[in-house]
A = this chain, B = another copy of it.
Amino acid sequence: MWLSGSSDLITKLKNRGVSRVALQFPEGLKRQAADLASDLKAAGFGVIVSGDPCYGACDLALDTISEGQANVLVHFGHAPVDGRPEVIFEPWQVEFDVSVLEHALPLLRGRDIGLVTTVQHAHLVPTMESFLASHGFETRVAKGTPRTPLRGQVLGCSFAAAKATGAREILFVGTGVFHPTGIALATRARVIAFDPISGTAQEVSADSLLRRRSAVIGKAREARSVGIILSTKSGQKRRELAERLAGLAPGAVIVTLREVTPDQLLNLGFDCYVNTACPRIAYDDQVRFARPVLSPQEFEILCGVRAWEDYAIDEIV
């Protein structure tokens, strides 16, 4: 069953006076759906599960509400990226013993550091601050923003909590190198990435990403037809941006897509694409795509309206 059991959720739903509930889970938690739905059904609720792929709170199954199938959507695993009174967010909290942070300390050069993390660990920020303070560090943590409402929280598409620290050295606590690489580009700070599950720390630089992206821009120079990808997901839909980019080249056309997959880009057959959906698609998935997929800023460089020196990582604000 769900971490806190279904009884808390049932109480919450009863307090809201709702009778029909939609449930949405990210892929890794979808297996919870059958049991939780069954519990809610037994408790007298009308239940519907959103089965489509889901990778973030930027992709809310709002059609379940707009079509009257549910009064409320319970979205698991993520914090909100925009205000939605009809959605209950149930983030997924992953615990760890903050004393593992000691493995990151030798890599820090100064005593004045910015601290950021991802939604799963955001509840541990105060404990991490205490730990760092007890080891002589002055830790700066930014307050939440509309897209990253938790203190110190960053997303793969929003590094505002890193920039707002103003720190010249930033400690990122979470898995993978995508977030810290983005933070390095967005802040120009020195970035230490610490994985609290494996207990390993490393300094992360954006150099390798920049080299790869420069090569992708080069490959796109020959493109005659350009598909400007416009997401249909609630929190990834950047229509004004897509329209502005489509105005930069005669062969550029807006293409709406729900899931940006190698198959769909191949079927559509454009010579190159510009991604205004989830920014990670261009940066992380290029190896899976047969054609260059540029970020908005990279397309501006290609079209000569931005200098390479002004390269910036794509964020959704």
Are A52 and B256 closer than 8 Å at their CB atoms?
Answer: yes
A63 contact set on B, CB distance < 8 A: 232, 256
Q: A87 — which chain B residues lie within 8 A by C-beta?
A: none
Report A268-291 residues with CB < 8 Å from chain B CB.
Answer: 268-271
Number of copies of this chain that the complex holds: 2
Describe A's contact surface by its main secondary structure: mixed
Residues of B within 8 A of A98 (CB): none
User: Which residue of B is nearest A61, CB measured?
Assistant: B256
- Assess the B49–A268 pair: CB atoms within 8 A: yes
Which of B41, B49, B258 lies in contact with A255, CB distance below 8 A?
B49
Indicate the size class of the contact surface on chain A: 35 or more
Question: Is the CB of A48 closer than 8 A to any CB of chain B?
Answer: yes
A42: which B residues are within 8 A, CB to CB? Answer: 250
Bitwise, A219-262 to B at CB < 8 A (1) or not (0) is 00000010101101000000100000000001101111111000
Answer yes or no: A44 CB below 8 A from chain B CBs.
Answer: no
Of the candidates A30, A253, A268, the one having the most CB atoms from chain B within 10 angstroms of its own CB is A253
- Shortest distance in angstroms between A33's beta carbon and chain B's nearest beta carbon? 6
Q: Kindly list chain B residues whose C-beta atoms are within 8 Å of the C-beta of A50.
A: 255-256
List 8 A-B pairs, minimum CB-CB distance, nearest first: A34-B225, A37-B253, A51-B255, A51-B257, A31-B269, A49-B255, A30-B267, A48-B254
